[in-house]
Structures are given as structure tokens and as C-alpha cells.
């Protein structure tokens, strides 16, 4: 069981025996606290390969009080897409926001140092949250190149992310951060400090 404020996640070895207990516990909690599950936002993620429609029908038939629960192969919890069919979906919304911020800051016209500072402080951190659990998607380098073109407009291909990362070697105070390296560091921190109990 994991909880963050009002967002709950429960992992069960088998659903058949546990669902009845869960329903009873949440009903009892609702009576005590006045707080209830938001059933349309509640998602059941079976890890088995069974038919989703059959599982949803079983819940509606045997547990009508949970008839509105959604049965799916992926769902979002605390900004992370979880489940066997999640693919690279965790990065979908953050990448859109990342590109939007790069475009917004590119319109400021603040020069190279200000733009790289804005990248490190306002643009890239949009991705660092999901980097805690997921490596960047396979198309990351194309997205990064697009963001750099938006952030530092100019003639096509005039600056490449790889070259911007090397700017400190030329005496510049800042270069373009490397998401792959940051992801490794972030995941090491999570493994050491956040996941050490498990």
C-alpha cells in the first residue's frame, strides 16, 4: 500500500480474494471519515494477460458497488504512467511542457547565458521528476534538438546540444545539462535514499 495525500496505490498478489476485503475497508473508512473513493478515477491494473472486458464484467457482476472502476493496462499515479502497456507514456505530457517552455523562453531573446540558465532552472526540471523512475525515451535526442532550436533560434542547425554541453570547456560558466547523466544520478539517489527500505 502506498499513499501520497489522497492518492492511493495498492498492489495485490491476487484480486479475487482481496477485492472483497478492499471494498469493505474503503466502505468502512468512508463511514468513519466521510471520504470515499472517486470511482471514475479509480483504476484496476491487472498484470495478468486476461481479457480486460471479462474482468470489468466480473467486477460489475460480483461487486456492483465498484461497477464504475476502470479496468486498464495503464494508468497514471503521481505523474507516472504505470502498468504493462505504459511504454514511454510517462514522458508524453512532460515532453510537451518541456518543448512549450523552450519555445516560450526562446521568444524572450535573452542571449546564450540567460537561455542556458533558463533551460537549467525552468525547462529541463519538467523532465527530472519522471526521470526518477524512467530513462528518457528513445526519441529524446530529437526532442532535445527541437527544444534547443526553439530556445536558441537562428539559422537551421547553427547549434547542436552536443556542442552546447561542451561550452564549459571553452570557459563559459554554463553549458547544456545532459539528461542522460542527470537521470543516472537521480535514479542512483532514488535507489539509495527513497527505495532503500524495499
Please report the pLDDT score of residue 198 as a whole number. Answer: 62
Average pLDDT over residues 41-59: 87
Here the cell at position 92 is 508524453
At residue 197, does pLDDT exceed 70? no
3-class state of residue 77 by DSSP: strand
Predicted confidence (pLDDT) per residue in 82-131, tens digit? 888 888 888 999 999 999 999 999 999 888 999 999 999 999 999 999 99
Q: Name the pLDDT band for 144 (thresholds 50, 70, 90).
A: very high
Q: Name the pLDDT band for 196 (thresholds 50, 70, 90).
A: low
The helix (H) or strand (E) run that includes residue 103 is: helix 92-106
Please report the pLDDT score of residue 147 as a whole number. Answer: 96
Residue with cell 539528461: 179
Report the predicted TM-score, pTM, of the whole model to 2 decimal places: 0.78
Give the whole-angstrom CA distance, residue 49 versus residue 64.
23
DSSP code for 2: E
3-class state of residue 166 by DSSP: coil
Give the torsion sign (CA, 114, 174, 151, 103).
negative
Please report the pLDDT score of residue 16 as a whole number. Answer: 76
Predicted confidence (pLDDT) per residue in 170-188, tens digit? 999 999 999 999 999 999 9
Which own/partner contact pairs does 45-49 have at CB distance under 8 Å and 24+ positions apart?
A: 45/72, 45/73, 45/74, 45/75, 45/82, 45/83, 45/84, 46/15, 46/71, 46/73, 47/83, 47/84
Give the whole-angstrom CA distance, residue 181 versus residue 56.
42
At residue 166, does pLDDT exceed 90? yes
Please report the pLDDT score of residue 48 as a whole number. Answer: 79
What whole-number percentage of the chain has pLDDT above 70?
A: 98
Please report the pLDDT score of residue 170 as a whole number. Answer: 93
CB 74 within 8 A of CB 81: yes
33-58 burial: b if 16+ Cβ within 10 Å, else e: eeeebeeeeebbbbeeeeeeeeebeb
Here the cell at position 89 is 507514456
CB 39 within 8 A of CB 69: yes
Average pLDDT over residues 69-94: 89
Please report the pLDDT score of residue 152 as a whole number. Answer: 93
Amino acid at each position: 500500500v502506498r499513499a501520497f495525500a489522497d492518492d492511493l496505490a495498492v498492489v495485490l498478489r491476487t484480486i479475487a480474494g482481496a477485492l472483497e476485503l478492499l471494498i469493505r475497508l474503503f466502505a468502512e473508512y468512508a463511514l468513519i471519515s466521510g471520504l470515499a473513493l472517486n470511482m471514475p478515477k479509480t483504476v484496476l491494473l491487472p498484470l495478468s494477460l486476461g481479457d480486460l472486458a471479462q474482468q470489468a464484467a466480473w467486477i460489475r457482476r460480483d461487486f456492483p458497488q465498484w461497477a464504475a472502476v476502470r479496468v486498464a493496462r495503464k494508468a497514471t499515479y503521481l505523474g507516472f504512467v504505470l502498468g504493462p502497456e505504459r511504454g514511454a507514456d510517462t514522458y508524453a505530457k512532460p515532453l510537451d511542457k518541456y518543448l512549450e517552455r523552450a519555445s516560450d523562453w526562446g521568444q524572450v531573446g535573452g542571449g546564450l547565458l540567460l537561455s542556458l540558465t533558463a533551460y537549467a532552472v525552468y525547462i529541463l526540471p519538467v523532465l527530472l521528476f519522471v526521470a526518477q523512475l524512467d530513462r528518457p525515451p528513445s526519441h529524446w535526442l530529437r526532442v532535445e534538438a527541437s527544444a534547443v532550436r526553439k530556445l536558441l533560434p537562428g539559422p537551421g542547425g547553427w547549434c547542436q546540444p552536443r556542442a552546447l554541453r561542451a561550452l564549459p570547456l571553452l570557459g563559459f560558466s554554463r553549458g547544456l545539462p545532459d539528461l542522460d547523466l542527470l537521470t543516472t544520478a537521480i535514479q542512483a539517489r532514488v535507489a539509495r535514499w527513497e527505495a532503500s527500505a524495499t
